[in-house]
Structure 1
Amino acid sequence: MEKRHYVKGLLMGGFAFVIWGLLPLYWKLVKAITPYEIFSQRVVWSFVFVLLIMLYKGNLAKLKGLIMSLKQWRKIALPAIFISINWLLYIWAVNNDFVLETSLGYYMNPLILTLFGTVFFKEKLDKYKIIGLTLAGVGVIFKTILYGKIPIIALTLAFCFAAYGLLKKKSSLDSLTGLGFETFVIGVPSLFYLIFIEASGEGIIGNLSIWFWVLIATSGVVTAIPLLLYAESTKLLPLNVVGFLQYIAPTIALFLGIFVFGEPFGITELIPFVIIWIGLLFFSYSQFKLISAKSIPVNVEN
């Protein structure tokens, strides 16, 4: 693999997770509607945003061909289902005060993604990555023990997003077309749901300011852009690297929770995060050594 492709993958993946880490700020702004409406609005406006990009690039014929293909529907249905469960469950959990468990889920996710990379793509781990991932795993286990029960929400979030990343890596579709197809598949039932809500008088019309439409429409942009970047990074990087980049998002969310939202953070919360951060330093050193080399070793390409 050429170094420039590897670095490009790191930048795209890193930027995607920075955006995802900052999303709690946005969800706070649109909490006037239910999680189910937020999810449906998010999907529909994402499809509109991707559609405009494809119209600009002249790719609509390709999307139409995919929509008319039963074979492609079978291929895209599973990633669409996984990302739908992840989105809806995350929004529901945040609105129902399960922020701690969602954070745990996104710290678990890279471990599952790394496991997928090792099992399905025979990805190799150097000693620094192994140390880093081991420490991260210890931190997550410690956090789970402190939580005091089986974290069903966290496990579901982690598995669904890791499975989505795996399927995107195996997909032969380009990122834009794939996202357009996925948001179409989820968007059709979502649109019918929104029409029903608005017709019943429980939606945005008549209950919220006209400016709320502008605000909620932005969900399409903040959803589509990081997903496109993420999909591209999974094609350019080993899954174990993409997996560890995912620690960026919950770490940003952690700082938002402490310093912006004022959530409690004591020693029992601090210990697992410190262990995970030490692991991150080991993994980051591995990446620094790799990028500093004249070329990226062949065994990081799948």
Structure 2
Amino acid sequence: MSTGSDGPAGDGTPAGGPGDGAPVAEFMRHRDRLFGIAYRMTGSVADAEDLVQETWLRWNAVTVPVARPGAYLARTVTNLALDRLGSAAARRERYVGPWLPEPLVTAPDASDEVERAEAVSLALLVVLESLSPLERAAFVLREVFGYSHREIAEALDRSEASVRQLARRARSHVEARRPRYDTSAARQRRLTEQFLAAAVGGDVGELMRLLAPDVTVWADGGGKRRAALRPLHGADRTARWALGVLSQAPELEVAFATVNGQPGILATSGGEPDTVAVLDIDGQGRIAAIRLLRNPDKLSHLRVPGTGSGRPPAAGQEPD
């Protein structure tokens, strides 16, 4: 993807910036892209919103014209994300149980945030966690947003040669570890519906038919909600776990949602988000992985339809 002559903004933005007297409009032109970079870098909706807000504050404080606003903003949010990853690594070492990224959740027919979720499946974000911060930045900027090596070098204050090496290592690492199957959204939605119906109905035989023999379940409760402290492996354990979870939580209301661009499940209790789940489907049409998010800190930003709940918009962000 070509980024054009204006650097990372990729939109031909003319010279300008806060010095022109239009900081809000200029910033809002790039806000979705800034969120996309920050979210892919951190795996956290809350951190991404904070980083976009910090980028806005720095942008608003600039008093001279900026030749390439898009490049300036992208460089700013990337370096803020790199700083944030340092403190996040220390928190992850103390994390209770499996760690999963915060989910981006929309209604199945929503379109306002679908662009945000493209190419950021939970599975891919987990793989990105295994990269070094600089490798992650190089991968996100190059492979997701199409920046040139020269532009990335400017953003990271590295030589172009070193950025090429970073990007190459990152791409090789991701390709070796990312899921190799590609399932249509319709097929994934159908398997998700069948899995949920079988689990609610207590049909162990149907669950075993739907699950791959080596299926793995990751449940992220963060030590704040009940969840397995280690990944579960195998169809039999997974089937019995699914039946146990639903039998112990009869008050849950379950609806389908789009989770990071994939068909998934949103369970609520008393009008508050309780669980988000997404299933990965293998090439044989069986469920190969289940990722379950229950940590309330990672679900607090979600808006449950009809309740108006969820974190309020940050300053400089239009309400929904």
Whether TM exceeds 0.5 here: the answer is: no
Higher relative contact order, chain-length normalized (CA < 8 Å, sep 6+): 1
Pair member with larger Rg: 2
Q: TM-score, normalised by structure 2?
A: 0.29
Specify which structure has the higher proportion of strand. Answer: 2
Q: What TM-score do the two structures reach when normalised by structure 1?
A: 0.30
